[in-house]
Amino acid sequence: MNFNITTPSREIEPLLTEKIDFLTKPKGSLGKLETLARRIGLIQQTLTPRLSNPHNILFAADHGIIEEGVSVSPKDVTWQQLAHFSHGGAGINFLCNQHGFRLTLVDAGVDYDIPEGKGIIDRKIRKSTRNFLHEPAMTRDEFHLAIERGAGIVEDVAATGCNVVSFGEMGSGNTSSSSMWMHFFTGIPLADCVGAGAGLDSPGIRHKLDVLTRAAANYAGDGSPEDIMSWFGGYEMVMAVGGMLKAAELGMVIIVDGFIMTSCILAASKLYPEVLEYTIFGHQGDESGHKKMLEALDADPILHLGLRLGEGSGAVCAYPIIDSAVRMINEMDDFASVGVIKYF
């Protein structure tokens, strides 16, 4: 699947800067809100940006690498928590309710037969990826299907009038896949990419690093972004990549969540670097390696709250600040309109 992602024109940037600078405040005094307003204005190519009908799309899938004991969470947690999301009582549910997000739940590859009628969209590729210690996690055909299905979900939410989207995930073992993508796409040593995930202790982290080190040594692919993503990724992660690319193609604002979704935007940028022009990084999480990956992307996250839940929680938490930036550029008076002498 090909995407037509263009870099937003910079011609409007001086006008955005001028408008922000002449609002009734000292120049630069609203800090990151000014940066965010300028970025959203660039994405939307307007001096009066708007945020409408925000969605958090949560993809869920299982990972074959969990067979190697790299996670404290068994596979059953994935479908159980996905069902929990559908009932409305999880962390991401109260955050979406608080901040006006529509939560979209997608089965990308859960190792369980999800019953119909639960509000969960069935886009299952396969019941879990394969164990990438011994073979590629997915075939190239499965990879392309996941990209296509992720893009299709974003097309559907865009049709509802949504122009700002965040992505979340659920899948035991997906920090292992994210660590592998981070290592191969940034060159950062694997030891700096591997952390506790859902709660491994120090011996557990050492075991996880050993498994992933052996998996990296066993890699026999061609080194292309598609091959690395197919060999080590998860279906939910590749669907998120497809969703991010489609969102950028449609000119939507993309809010990036934590470690796993940051690895997804990193991977997406290896296919289409322009996707980063549509991206706002919601937060810096506490998973080992997230800070280094953000630095590799030259990203400036909005929040640092010690979050490591996933699900899109940090992205949704950051939304009110993004909303404040848009309100600032649209609702503040300028000096000329109110007859106040400009002060610095």
Which are the catalytic amino acids? 311
Burial (CB count <10 Å: 0-12, 13-18, 19+), residue 336: exposed
The set of residues, in sequence order, having a beta carbon less than 8 Å from that of 139 and lying 6+ positions away, is 230
- C-alpha distances (whole Å) from 313 to each of 91, 102, 158 are 7, 13, 21
Phi and psi at 151, nearest 5°, equal: -60, -40
Distance separating alpha carbons of residues 287 and 179, to the nearest angstrom: 10
Burial (CB count <10 Å: 0-12, 13-18, 19+), residue 291: middle
Distance separating alpha carbons of residues 15 and 121, to the nearest angstrom: 42
Distance separating alpha carbons of residues 101 and 85, to the nearest angstrom: 14
Angle between helix 225-232 and 174-186 (nearest 10) = 160
Distance separating alpha carbons of residues 329 and 324, to the nearest angstrom: 9
Identity at 150, one-letter amino acid code: G
| 66 touches 132 (CB < 8 A) | no
Q: Which residues pair with 283 in a beta bridge?
A: 303
Extract long-range pairs of 184-188: CB within 8 Å, 24+ residues apart.
Answer: 184/216, 184/228, 184/232, 185/225, 185/228, 185/263, 185/266, 185/267, 185/270, 186/266, 186/292, 186/293, 186/296, 188/289, 188/292, 188/293, 188/296
Tokens for 29, please give them: 């005094």
Phi and psi at 72, nearest 5°, equal: -80, -15
Distance separating alpha carbons of residues 143 and 61, to the nearest angstrom: 13
